[in-house]
Structure 1
Amino acid sequence: MTIYLDVIWFLNFCIDFLLLWLTAVILKRNISKKRLTLGAFLGSLYVLFLFLDAAILYHPILKFIYSVFIVITTFGYKRFGYFVQGLFMFYFSTFITGGGILGIHYFLKSDAEIMNGVIKTQSSGMGDPISWLFVILMIPVMLYFTKRRVDQIEVRKLRYDQIMNFELKIDSITLKGIGLLDSGNQLHDPISKNPVMILDMTVFSDQVPEAVVRQAENLESIGELMDEPNPWQDRMRIIPYRAVGSNNQFLTGCKADSLNVWENGVKYETSNVIVGLSFTNISGEGEYNAILHPKMLSNAKVTSTAS
């Protein structure tokens, strides 16, 4: 059997380059192409060592030491934590990419065939070899998938960092839920200039007086509903707003008595808040049921802290 060592080396060089690039992207490190190329070249040399008749080259400790040199060559050594983070992320990128390729390969592969109505299976006991063509095609796919999943994890982590519990008091009603602190929410009451939070009425409608729900839900015919007894009539507001890609719209709101928000064990309390009543689900996955205004925390007072 003819082995084209140069082709095998070049393929491994490309794979090492992509894995190191993915590691740099995940860690958000600005690494030059020269260092990436040098690190990939050092990693690809290991393929040549495997053709030497030396059992020690297969030892896990030697492999680990070799990967340490690859990471230091590519990312440098600034401090121990910086180095360890790069090393573990390099292993993570390698294992998830290689494991994904193996998983897809065995998912698509079948060792069974039907002969004369009888299912026949065959196994060599050594596993099924993966073709180089399959590896070449799947490496970019797995790299793209890994990067997208890491990006989604980061977005979800950032979102959860901005999620906090709240307690809203309006008249004799207390509403408790989870709010998202959205810096893009700049909605204010045009009269009092108080910040406006958005409350998901698909969650809280059964806890709000029925007359309030009807007036808020039927804003276009609110004039016909004004004569209906409404315990929050003096609290009601009409708030104009403009969403991206749409014309000016209006939102029914009401003045709240107080709002308590907990962030990292710290309790913030404010009374200058207007609650916008939205009948559109604001979180498709149910992660939160209100959108908080950033000024609610900046203008609030700290009433208690976690011990």
Structure 2
Amino acid sequence: MAVYLDVIWLLNFCFDYMLLALTGILLKKQVKKRRLATGALIASCYVLFLFVPALTFMVNPFMKLLYSLLIVVVTFGFTRFRSFFQCWLLFYFVTFMIGGGMMGAHYFFQKDMTVFNGAVATQSTGFGDPVSWLFVLVGFPIVWFFSKRRVDHLETTRIHFDQLAEVSIRIDDVTISAKALVDSGNQLQDPLSGSPVMILDMTVHEANFPPSFIQKAKNITEFQEEGEEDRWEHRLRIVPFRAVGQDHQFLCAVKPDEVLISMEGRSLTVKKVLVGLSFHTISGEKDYTCILHPKMLTGHKATAS
């Protein structure tokens, strides 16, 4: 069997470059391309050691450990031991994640069992089923991009959940509990009272409001018309706002008695606030059903929850 060492080395160089690049992306580090290339060059040279009898000691786990430290130092540098150690562990995590994904995808498409003359037969070799180079060339970039997207999604989700709070809105004898997102981009305020306006997803919480109240809230023009009176009608407010590409929009809001916010082990009670009623879903995945105004978290006395 002919072994093309230059092809094997080139493939390993490309794969090592992508592994180091993904590690740098997850570390949020701006790593220069020449440092990535140098690190990938050192990492890919390990393949050459396997074909040199005098360098067989490099297959020792301890030597592999030292070699990986060299790769990380050359690529990402050394400033502090803690940051270097985290970088080194993340490099191993990325390698095992991509490698595990490749092997998992390989065995997912394999058929190791056949039925022959009514008998079940399995096939296996002592060293496992070899992975074809074509599968590696196609599968590695796919697993790389998939892993990067999943990690980015998990990071975004973590950021969102770090900004979530538990909210209780009290209106007379009705208490509405919701999970809220603290949105720094929400700067909506009532122009008359200056009260901040939070947004409530009515597609989820509409059942907490009287039907007559909902009807008036959906039809702004009926505010001044005579008809069935509602006990919360005096709490209705109309708040003008401006959206991207839309001017002179109006939002129906309700004046609550108070809003209790529980976040990061503390509780805030806000009384000067309006609750804007959105009859459109504000979170497709229902991670939160309310959007808080950032002003609601400042200037209020907090208590330990």
Q: Answer whether TM exceeds 0.5 for this pair.
A: yes
Name the count of aligned residue pairs.
Answer: 304
| Displacement of 1:191 | 2.0
CA RMSD of aligned residues (A): 2.0
- Which residue of structure 2 lines up, in the alignment, with residue 279 of structure 1? 279
- Which residue of structure 2 lines up, in the alignment, with residue 46 of structure 1? 46
| Unmatched segments (≥5 aa) in structure 1 | none
Q: Would you say the 8 A contact 1:266–1:302 is kept in 2? A: no
Q: Would you say the 8 A contact 1:260–1:270 is kept in 2? A: yes
Question: Cα deviations across residues 273-296 of structure 1 (Å, max 9, x unaligned)?
Answer: 011112222222222121001111
Alignment of 1:134-173 (within 5 A): 134-173=135-174
| Displacement of 1:115 | 5.3
CA distance in 2 between counterparts of 1:212 and 1:42 reads 70
Alignment of 1:88-107 (within 5 A): 88-107=89-108
- Which residue of structure 2 lines up, in the alignment, with residue 12 of structure 1? 12
Alignment of 1:193-232 (within 5 A): 193-219=194-220, 221-224=222-225, 226-232=226-232
What SS is found at the alignment partner of 2:37? helix
- Which residue of structure 1 lines up, in the alignment, with residue 21 of structure 2? 21
| Displacement of 1:246 | 4.2
CA distance in 1 between counterparts of 2:156 and 2:181 reads 13
| Displacement of 1:8 | 0.9
CA distance in 2 between counterparts of 1:118 and 1:248 reads 76
Structure 1 pair 219–119 and aligned structure 2 pair: CA distance change class (3 A): farther
Alignment of 1:247-266 (within 5 A): 248-266=248-266
Query: What is the TM-score normalised by the length of structure 2?
Result: 0.92
What SS is found at the alignment partner of 1:227? coil
The one-letter code of the counterpart of 2:300 is: K
- Say which is worse superposed, 89-98 or 232-241, in terms of deviation: 232-241
The one-letter code of the counterpart of 2:83 is: Y
| Displacement of 1:105 | 1.2
- Which residue of structure 2 lines up, in the alignment, with residue 304 of structure 1? 303
| Displacement of 1:169 | 2.0
Structure 1 pair 204–116 and aligned structure 2 pair: CA distance change class (3 A): same
Question: Cα deviations across residues 250-299 of structure 1 (Å, max 9, x unaligned)?
Answer: 2211112222212211222222101111222222222212100111112x
Query: What is the TM-score normalised by the length of structure 1?
Result: 0.91
| Displacement of 1:55 | 5.2
State the percentage of identical aligned residues: 46
Q: Would you say the 8 A contact 2:237–2:254 is kept in 1? A: yes
